[in-house]
Structure formats: structure tokens, C-alpha cells
């Protein structure tokens, strides 16, 4: 099975062409493939597939290193767009792709970056999904006997966002997996730890559902900006600094879709013996 190794700000992926045949791996095989010592290693596996939606050029699938599926991946979306462009399947300008959570738009920029329409953030608890009696900007949840305040939003996948004073010292490795599995998120969640630096800049670390802490999380950056903008803490365009680099997120507010701009890079091509 041939594959491409790619990354977006250090959030790394294996991309497999499944336009004419299905992925020949089950969940256990994906876990072996994703192991950084006994396999190739990746945060997520991405499949390029024929679109089922007639309004989209192609579809893509997302698998975490633990073999579970994901509904969206912002850094992965940019890599999918770059992979398709290099394969000659996408031309210049905008295109629509079918993600596991619905259609998204991408635009290939002249500087090699990709601009992506990530859709409108969803705050309604039933659409995240998040168990709450009513929608709120802030929720207090019990995390192993400790009350933690979060924002909850879906960017095609569920996110909890925790405001912190200093992202460098945030307890990501402890609170991340604990919040990921709280009963309020029946499907689990990604957990972002966000430090507001200025109205146009935040710093962020993300514990990704089914993966662990990654160097960057595109949908996590979108979720953090959406939650913080809803609280009136940031402006429409925000520079998000993650351990792996920077993304630009723009959201004009309710009724508008959210746009993410950032790089996507090829690392190497390989062949995996299945």
C-alpha cells in the first residue's frame, strides 16, 4: 500500500489514495501502522476517496492513531487539498471537498498555504454533542472531583476549550485525557488550552481525542477562537500560535462560516506492507 507522509505545523499524517479501492486496514492494523516504533507513525491517517456528494470534487476519511474515526481535521484538510493539487486532481482556486461531517471549501493560495472554510461553529449542546440543560458560554463540569470551566463547541468534531493564564504550564497531559472522557461529552472531545495574548493573538495547546497532545490542531484552533470570540475576548481575525507553528483564523461571528489559513507540507513517499 503506497502512502504519502505529510504534516501541517507538525501535526502529521499518512495519506492513502482510496479513490478506486477501499482502505485495506481495520482498526487494529491502523493502530499498528500508526505506531511510531513498530509502524510508520502519524497523528491521523487520511484517505482520499471518490465523492458521494455530487457537489464535491472528492471525499476524505480520518482515522486516529487508536483506530477510531474523526469527523473533521483542519490540518488534515489542508494536506488533503495539497495532495490532490500535486496529483493534478485540483486546479487553482476554490474547490469543495466532502469531509466525514459534511462539505467544506478549500482554496489553494499562491504562497503554498491553504485557506479552508471550516463551516459555522455549532454551540447548541445537541449538535456538539454535549449534555447540558441549556446553551451557555461557560460550563462548569466535574473532572475527577475538581470543577473546571470550559466552553463547548463543534467544528465537525466536539471540542472543550479551557482558558489558562499561561499555556506553557497548563496541565495538558493530566486534564486533557480526563476532560476527553467526561460523561458530558458522550462521544469524547478534543481539549484545547488557550491563553489570550491580545485581541488578535492567542497561544494554544490541544489534547486530541484518540491521539493525545499534538504539535498543532486545526479544528482545535478554530474551536478556541470561536469560543473566545463568543465571549468577546478576541477580534474577528486571530493569529493562533501552537507548538508547531501559526494558523490564521477568521470568524465574523454568528451566521458566518469560519476560515482557517495555514501551511501543508510533504515529507516523503512510502510503501507499507499490509
Domain shared by 135 and 218, yes or no? yes
Domain shared by 114 and 134, yes or no? no
Domain shared by 199 and 177, yes or no? yes
Domain shared by 129 and 248, yes or no? yes
pTM to 2 decimal places: 0.93
The DSSP symbol for 56 reads: -
Cβ-based burial of 233 (10 A; exposed 0-12, middle 13-18, buried ≥19)? middle
Could you tell me how far CA 85 lies from the centroid of its own chain?
21
**What's the domain range around 198?**
125-256
The CATH number of residue 154's host domain is 3.10.310.10
Task: Give exposure, 185-223, as e/b (b: 16+ Cβ within 10 Å).
Answer: beebbbbbbbbbeeeeebbbbbbbbbbbbbbbbbbbbbb
Number of domains in the chain: 2
Domain shared by 151 and 182, yes or no? yes
Phi and psi at residue 137, to the nearest 5°: -75, -30
Closest by CA position to 207, among listed 226, 189, 224: 189
> Which residue in 18, 79, 189, 217 is the catalytic one?
217
Domain shared by 129 and 115, yes or no? no
Domain shared by 103 and 30, yes or no? yes
Domain shared by 97 and 134, yes or no? no
Domain shared by 53 and 168, yes or no? no
The CA distance from 205 to 133, in Å, is 29
> Which residue in 73, 79, 189, 222 is the catalytic one?
73
Cell of residue 243, nine digits: 507548538
217 is catalytic: yes
Give the pLDDT confidence of 42-96 residue by residue, as tens digits: 999 999 999 999 999 999 999 999 999 999 999 999 999 999 999 999 977 789 9
Give the pLDDT confidence of 93-144 residue by residue, as tens digits: 789 999 999 999 999 998 889 999 999 999 999 999 999 999 999 999 999 9
Domain shared by 222 and 134, yes or no? yes
Domain shared by 114 and 198, yes or no? no
Amino acid at each position: 500500500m503506497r502512502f504519502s507522509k505529510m504534516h501541517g505545523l507538525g501535526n502529521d499524517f499518512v495519506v492513502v489514495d482510496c479513490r478506486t479501492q477501499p482502505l485495506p486496514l481495520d482498526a487494529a492494523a491502523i493502530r499498528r501502522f500508526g505506531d511510531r516504533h513498530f509502524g510508520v507513525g502519524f497523528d491521523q491517517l487520511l484517505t482520499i476517496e471518490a465523492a458521494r456528494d455530487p457537489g464535491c470534487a472528492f471525499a476524505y476519511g480520518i482515522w486516529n492513531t487508536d483506530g477510531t474515526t474523526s469527523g473533521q481535521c483542519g490540518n488534515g484538510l489542508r494536506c488533503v487539498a495539497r495532495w490532490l493539487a500535486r496529483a493534478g486532481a485540483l486546479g487553482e482556486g476554490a474547490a469543495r471537498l466532502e469531509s466525514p461531517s459534511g462539505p467544506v471549501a478549500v482554496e489553494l493560495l499562491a504562497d503554498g498555504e491553504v485557506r479552508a472554510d471550516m463551516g459555522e461553529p455549532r454551540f447548541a449542546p445537541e449538535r456538539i454533542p454535549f449534555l447540558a440543560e441549556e446553551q451557555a458560554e461557560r460550563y462548569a463540569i466535574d473532572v475527577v472531583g475538581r470543577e473546571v470551566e470550559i466552553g463547548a463547541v463543534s467544528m465537525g468534531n466536539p471540542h472543550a476549550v479551557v482558558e489558562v493564564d499561561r499555556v506553557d504550564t497548563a496541565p495538558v497531559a493530566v486534564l486533557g485525557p480526563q476532560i476527553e472522557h467526561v460523561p458530558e461529552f458522550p462521544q469524547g472531545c478534543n481539549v484545547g488550552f488557550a491563553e489570550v495574548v491580545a485581541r488578535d493573538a492567542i497561544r494554544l495547546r490541544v489534547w486530541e481525542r484518540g491521539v493525545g497532545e499534538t504539535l498543532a490542531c486545526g479544528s482545535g484552533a478554530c474551536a478556541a477562537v470561536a469560543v473566545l470570540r463568543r465571549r468577546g475576548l478576541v477580534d474577528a481575525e486571530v493569529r493562533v500560535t501552537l507548538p508547531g507553528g501559526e494558523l490564521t483564523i477568521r470568524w465574523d461571528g454568528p451566521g458566518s462560516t469560519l476560515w482557517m489559513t495555514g501551511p501543508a507540507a510533504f515529507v516523503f513517499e512510502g510503501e507499507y506492507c499490509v
